[in-house]
Structure 1
Amino acid sequence: ELRPNWWTHSRLSCVAGLRAIAAVPGLGDTPRRAVRLADAILTETTRRCLDPRGYWRQTPDTAKVDAALLLPAVRGAVPADDPRTSATLAKVRETLSVDGFVYRYHHDSSRLGEVEGAFLLTGFFAALAELHQGNDTDAFRYFERNRSACGPPALLAEEYDVEQHQLRGNLPQAFVHALLVECAVRLTPCHRSA
């Protein structure tokens, strides 16, 4: 996102990254400082960006949810059982999910799908978030639905037009393919039992 704003997704991604740094052994004082900074960012982000209904807002000045907010919890910004994680996933399901596809966010006065298609990347975020919450069946549903949105050469685009059943945006989209592979690995029974 290029518009200047206080993006919740960016803040929570920093928290996840700092927590990952803190888990690396042999870094001296760095892990302690990383945790302290992660906690400070999370505290301020919670103060400014948590909706009174318990889900993460896209920015402090809007009540809109952003499906990109599903990924930071999967990456370790907050625990899987954190109520903010569950509430955000529920809000995405309720307002941004259509027929197994997930839109990034709701554009102001437009209905879903009018301004842009469902983002396949956020469909795979939803699959990972459902798996992270222990909702295996829903995780597989999101995975299969979004995986099947490929064109004849079996490549995935950035977006998918749910109504017209066609690819939109950049083709091929590398980030989407990377998440497809990650979802496939995480959903594989041998990987999950390890």
Structure 2
Amino acid sequence: MKINRIEFLIKNGPFHQSSEFAAILDEIKNAIYSVTYPEGSDEFVLYPVKNANGVVPIKKGFLGFLDSNQWMLEHRMSIASRLRPGPVDAVKQLPDGRFFAVEWETGNISSSHRALNKMGVGLLDGVLAGGVLILPSRNMYTYLTDRIGSYSEIEPYFPVWRNLVVNEGVLSVIEIEHDAQSMDVAPIGKGTDGRALR
């Protein structure tokens, strides 16, 4: 898997310049690079047919890497004075008690908005030091489950999160893409996400 770009929506205070943040970002990038297909390959090759590939199985490899590096999976944040939001895909606890959160999109554009909003509220409440949302490129999106959220779809709304008043913290979106495509690999199986095939 490759990273096309990392877009920072919020990058305030000393945390984003710390070695701690640099190490966390390296772990996230290495977790993305570790995602390969088919099994045994050293790259991520996608079957290039519209809507043919599932997304949940792709995410599992990424989360497996983070789990082996002391990240907590499916973690619920306690956000002051608000209803508890759904769990975050993965968090890493920092020495100061705050968390760094990562969400890998497997839902539609509404899910992408919820993920960024959830992390934004976490930053506002001081529960999070930072958060990252990972989304496929427009090119990759074409071959994944129909209506999955994509970077190009959420990008027009970036000004909303850029204008959050956060004194300390990081919020970013990472655009990912397959390394290659081939009709010789099998489509990635579709897992289940609620009642939908993903």
Whose helix fraction is larger, Structure 1's or Structure 2's? Answer: 1
Q: Which one scores higher on RCO, CA 8 angstroms, separation ≥ 6?
A: 2
**TM-score, normalised on structure 2?**
0.32
Higher percent of residues as strand: 2
